Amino acid sequence: MTTPVLQAKDLTKRYGRVVAIDGSDLELYPGEILAVIGDNGAGKSSLIKALSGALIPDRGEILLDGSPVHFRSPMDARQAGIETVYQTLAVAPGLDIADNLFLGREERRSGVLGSVFRMLDRKHMRSEAARHMSELGVATLQNIGQAVESLSGGQRQAVAVARSAAFGSKVVILDEPTAALGVKEGNRVLQLIRDVRDRGLPVILISHNMPHVFEVADRIHIQRLGRRVAVITPKTHSMSEAVAIMTGAAAPPENPA
Amino acid sequence: MATTTADFEVKSHDSFGLRLQHLLHGNPVLGPLAVLLVAIIAFSIVNGRFFSAANLSLVLLQVTVIATLALGQTLIILTAGIDLSAGAIAVFSSILMALFCTDAGLPGPIALLLGLACGTVMGAINGALVTRIKLPPFIVTLGTLTIFFSLNSVVSNSETVRGTDMPGLMTWTGESIPIGSFRLSYGSIIMLLLFGFFAYALSSTAWGKHVYATGDDVEAARLAGIRTGRVLFSVYTVAGLLYAVAGWILIGRLASASPNVGTEYNLDSITAVVLGGTSLFGGRGGVIGTLIGALIVGVFRNGLQLSGVEVVWQGFAIGLLVLIAVSLDQWIRKVKT
């Protein structure tokens, strides 16, 4: 069996007496879209935060390509190749598309201009940004120097996904990427997620939207009461079965994973 | 028929408003620039003496200190902060510089550097309180404003230090070079160079992008990997240094260091920033706008005076401008796509 790209074993996180994650496991395999679903309070965002370095678990371990990693901040996870797109905080609205793509990892000009005058290589960043956007088939954006706030919700999400795909070398985590979008834009973002996978990057997709989950996910991780209760696939289970397992109305299948 | 006409009229009106909104949204300097040009033309028509080289040099000289303060203030307001202690740091730094010369007997360059360092430390204290203790900038600088003014009175015994008692370097900023009948002071040259430097730093360096991103949405910036605490701390510290430079220019302007000036500088610097189109909500604007904003204040004060308007009404006019500028900013921010 292949080694998971990203694996969580027995992760636990408590806040006082509240248990957010209770010995949860997770496996993400190469080239797949793994959806994580669960009711409110099931611990899916805490689980994701632990994987993206935004939260330090009390117990358990995280393996990246089979070797243990310890993230102390979101920066650690990014440097290890895990890019996360957060639901509402994906972009800086006042900056343009290219600036947003390179935010926090700007490239400077070579020579004295870069080393002494700290001048940014705007030309290169713009052409790179344009390349990344067109590679992902985001053709609606003609002007890479356009401020992000002048874009629609779906286009903003596309910028955020493009950023994670451009810089994530191992894993892309998307937290509710279609939550605030209309039907048409939601579908476009789903296509973008497939494109990211088809380029070889495995994706973890957190979503409440069952039709979206069943449309793109290869496997579905169901989180309930702080732990993983089942892993199903859209082929073997129906949406209503998934919801039943998620809410505890139905017993999970015998063999998770 | 009537309905069609009405529809058309409403539409064309909307589209003009929207186009203007988009234009100002994309080019925030245009509004202030238009105001400045209209004011200059209007005052030139009202009074022939306004548009003379001598008077224009006076306007520039009058705005130099406020503009330098407003430069530091702009950096802070871009991060969605505010600095009420700007003027207090400038005046306290000028007193310290002067006393380092007279009481401590230090040579001019050393006293100047120490004075600039003191201003920088005062800015850093603001920055540390904002980033470490996570207090709102308004509260932090309200507190330090009072503290710095108080220390200022203690250290100076509320006495003015005469420029003639100081080394020439201290009052050098007040000297000027004539260009025709226009007189450009060294203080104004320093101020303009600083504006050029920070216009570059904000537009063309990673630090500048991080300042805007932090002001835009601090949480999004943090999640994008920007160390927002460091960015904020650097901004308050650099602002402190700029205020101290303003203090040095102030000594040249007054030919003395006085602890009793500058109570109005704090708010004047904010006025210049707001008139220059920088948004009080952060992430939008820039230093060129602030330079224009400071010039608007100077042109209005000077022009109204030359037109024979009583001093008491000048404040009224400036206040009105501020309210219009902020309303305009709110409108521009609501830009729809």
Give per-residue pLDDT as tens, B276-310.
Answer: 989 888 988 999 999 999 999 999 888 988 888 88
- Smallest CA–CA separation between A117 and chain B, in Å? 8
Give the angle subtended at the CA of B58 by the CAs of B52 and B61, to the nearest 5°: 145
Residue of B26, B209, B284 lying closest to A103 (CB–CB)? B209
Q: Which residues share a beta bridge with A36?
A: A206, A221
Tokens linked to B255 = 């030919």
- Smallest CA–CA separation between B146 and chain A, in Å? 34
Q: Give CA–CA dist B56/B192, Å, rounded.
A: 15
Residue of B212, B215, B225 lying closest to A75 (CB–CB)? B225
ipTM exceeding 0.90, yes/no: no
Residue B89: CB atoms within 10 A of its CB come to 37
Q: Give CA–CA dist B98/B2, Å, rounded.
A: 75
Helix residue spans in chain B (DSSP H): 2-26, 30-46, 53-78, 86-102, 108-131, 137-156, 168-171, 186-204, 206-216, 218-223, 228-254, 265-275, 287-306, 311-333
- Are B205 and A152 in contact (CB < 8 Å)? no
- Are A95 and B209 in contact (CB < 8 Å)? yes
Q: Give CA–CA dist B45/B57, Å, rounded.
A: 18
Provide the residue-wise pLDDT of chain A in tens; the chain has 257 residues: 688 999 999 999 988 888 888 888 999 999 999 999 998 888 888 898 899 888 899 999 999 998 999 998 888 888 899 998 887 666 888 888 888 888 888 888 888 787 788 888 888 888 888 887 777 766 555 677 778 887 877 788 888 888 888 888 899 999 888 887 778 888 888 888 998 898 889 999 999 889 999 999 999 999 998 889 889 999 999 998 999 998 888 888 765 44
- What is the SS3 assignment for B102? helix
Residues 6+ apart with CB under 8 A from B192: none
Q: Give CA–CA dist A141/A180, Å, rounded.
A: 20
Q: Please report the DSSP string for chain A in residue order.
A: -PPPSEEEEEEEEEETTEEEEEEEEEEE-TT-EEEEEE-TTSSHHHHHHHHTTSS--SEEEEEETTEEE--SSHHHHHHTTEEEE-SS-S--TTSBHHHHHTTTS--BPSSHHHHTT--B-HHHHHHHHHHHHHHTT-TT---TTSBGGGS-HHHHHHHHHHHHHHH-SSEEEEESTTTT--HHHHHHHHHHHHHHHHTT--EEEE-S-HHHHHHH-SEEEEEETTEEEEEE-TTTS-HHHHHHHHHTSSPPPSS--
Chain A residues 31-60 with CB within 8 Å of chain B: 54
Residue B75 has pLDDT above 60, yes or no: yes
Q: Is B214:B231 a contact under the CB 8 Å cutoff?
A: yes
Interface test with A, best of B23, B210, B216 (most A CBs within 10 A): B216
Average pLDDT over residues B317-337: 78
Residue B247: name the closest of B107, B99, B57 by CA: B99
Q: Please report the DSSP string for B272-336 in residue order.
A: HHHHTT--TTSS---HHHHHHHHHHHHHHHHHHHHTT--HHHHHHHHHHHHHHHHHHHHHHHT--
Alpha carbon of residue A155 to chain centroid: 17
Q: Give CA–CA dist B74/B70, Å, rounded.
A: 6
Closest residue, chain A, to B198 (C-alpha): A117
Interface test with B, best of A120, A152, A155 (most B CBs within 10 A): A120
Residue B138: name the closest of B30, B13, B266 by CA: B266
Q: Is B97:B251 a contact under the CB 8 Å cutoff?
A: yes
Kindly list the distances between the CA atom of residue B326 and the CA atoms of B36, B281, B283, B333, in Å, as whole numbers in the listed order.
16, 10, 15, 11
Alpha carbon of residue B10 to chain centroid: 40
Q: Give CA–CA dist A232/A252, Å, rounded.
A: 9
- Are A94 and B212 in contact (CB < 8 Å)? yes
Q: What is the pairing mode between strands B176-179 and B182-185?
A: antiparallel
Q: Is B90:B243 a contact under the CB 8 Å cutoff?
A: yes
Q: Domains plus CATH for chain B? A: 29-331 (1.10.3470)
Q: Give CA–CA dist A78/A173, Å, rounded.
A: 11
Q: What DSSP state is assigned to residue B176?
A: E
Tokens linked to B234 = 């650097």
Q: Higher model confidence: residue A233 or residue B330?
A: A233
Residues of B in contact with A86 (CB under 8 A): 220, 223
Q: Is B131:B222 a contact under the CB 8 Å cutoff?
A: no
Q: Give CA–CA dist B210/B151, Å, rounded.
A: 34
pLDDT tens per residue across span B153-168: 999 988 888 888 888 8
What CATH code is assigned to A6-91+158-247? 3.40.50.300
User: Is any Cβ of chain B less than 8 angstroms from the Cβ of A145?
Assistant: no
- Are B225 and A118 in contact (CB < 8 Å)? no
Question: What's the predicted TM-score (pTM) here?
Answer: 0.84
- Are A92 and B221 in contact (CB < 8 Å)? yes
- What is the SS3 assignment for B159? coil
- Are B206 and A118 in contact (CB < 8 Å)? yes
Average pLDDT over residues B77-81: 96
- Are B219 and A152 in contact (CB < 8 Å)? no
B111: buried, middle or exposed (CB in 10 Å: 19+, 13-18, 0-12)? buried
- Are B225 and A95 in contact (CB < 8 Å)? no
Domain definitions of chain A by residue range: 6-91+158-247
